[in-house]
Amino acid sequence: MIKNDIALEIEKYSDFNRAKSLLIVDAILSNLKKSLDNDEKIEIRGFASFRVVPKKSGFGRDIRKKKQIRIKKGKRIKFRSGQDLKNI
Amino acid sequence: MIKNDIALEIEKYSDFNRAKSLLIVDAILSNLKKSLDNDEKIEIRGFASFRVVPKKSGFGRDIRKKKQIRIKKGKRIKFRSGQDLKNI
DNA sequence: AAGGGCAATATCATTCTTGATCATTAATCC
DNA sequence: GGATTAATGATCAAGAATGATATTGCCCTT
């Protein structure tokens, strides 16, 4: 499933063309990103929740040189399935 | 951020009322769930991807009895941040 | 406006993911 | 459709998630 499939769903409930439907999808995604950028959690009951948590991992690995690499700390997105997605 | 905020975004681009906007949001979420139910991956470039992977964990813990518990295998959703969500 | 019901939290050991990079595959822009 | 560019897979070690359950908090339906 890709972005286009989401736009198709919007078209089912409106008379918007593909371009406008995609515009709305992008606007929604942009808002979701903006929310996480601001360290705000996203919670959609019955689907899933997203939260921003500090990244503590301190080491990674360079596959070519087969050596460890320091990883700068930062943030990451923590995803958690909601009720309806728990048992699939 | 909650489901209502997503509906608000749809209203910005349409003349739909809250009820209809929420109907569309639910329809989209339903489609996403249906896709994962069918073991189909979701890939939204620039945002994130979701995939269904087998659950291999075999043990959990009962916090009250402080004992280990067998966990039945199954499936779970694997979330992966996209390019724009990597560096937040 | 408000209650019903789902989500967050804490706990511990085992299992799994994170993280950089290059090549390959595929989503998305035009 | 073609071209562009992001996502996936592989690797290894250390850090983090998983999983059950009751309680608290709050989203969401009526």
Q: Are A68 and A42 in contact (CB under 8 A)?
A: no
Compute the distance between CA of residue A74 and CA of residue B76 in angstroms, rounded to an integer.
26
If asked whether residues B44 and B87 sit together in one domain, one would say yes
Q: Are A45 and B3 in contact (CB under 8 A)?
A: yes
> In this complex, which of A23, A47, A81 lies closest to B76 when CB atoms are compared?
A81
If asked whether residues B56 and B29 sit together in one domain, one would say no
First to last CA, chain A: 17
Report pLDDT for A39: 84
If asked whether residues B47 and B81 sit together in one domain, one would say yes
Q: Are B82 and B44 in contact (CB under 8 A)?
A: yes
DSSP B65: T
If asked whether residues B46 and B25 sit together in one domain, one would say no
Is the pLDDT at B71 greater than 80? The verdict is no
Q: Would you place residue B55 in the very low, low, confident or very high pLDDT band (cuts 50, 70, 90)?
A: confident
If asked whether residues B31 and B68 sit together in one domain, one would say no
Both tokens assigned to B34: 């249906």
Report pLDDT for A74: 74
What's the structural domain count of chain B? 2
Neighbour-count burial of A31, counting CB atoms closer than 10 A to its CB (0-12 exposed, 13-18 middle, 19+ buried): middle
Query: The domain containing residue A73 runs over which residues?
Result: 40-88
If asked whether residues A59 and A84 sit together in one domain, one would say yes
Contact A28 B10 (CB under 8 A): yes
Residue numbers in B near A48 (CB within 8 A): 77, 79
pLDDT tens by residue, A51-64: 888 776 555 555 55
If asked whether residues B7 and B46 sit together in one domain, one would say no
Mean pLDDT calculated for residue range B33-48:
89
DSSP line for A16-83: --HHHHHHHHHHHHHHHHHHHHTT--EEETTTEEEEEEEE---EEEETTTTEEEE---EEEEEEEE-H
Contact B9 A20 (CB under 8 A): no
CA B74 to C1' C30, in angstroms, rounded, equals: 43
CB pairs under 8 A between A and B: 107
Residue numbers in A near B53 (CB within 8 A): none
Coil, helix or strand at residue A14: coil
Compute the distance between CA of residue A18 and CA of residue A24 in angstroms, rounded to an integer.
10
Contact B27 A14 (CB under 8 A): no
If asked whether residues B50 and B26 sit together in one domain, one would say no
The answer to whether strand C lies under 7 Å from the CB of residue B70 is: no
If asked whether residues B64 and B84 sit together in one domain, one would say yes
If asked whether residues A31 and A70 sit together in one domain, one would say no
Q: Are A58 and A48 in contact (CB under 8 A)?
A: no
Compute the distance between CA of residue B44 and CA of residue B81 in angstroms, rounded to an integer.
10
If asked whether residues A34 and A72 sit together in one domain, one would say no
Is the pLDDT at B76 greater than 70? The verdict is yes
If asked whether residues A27 and A54 sit together in one domain, one would say no
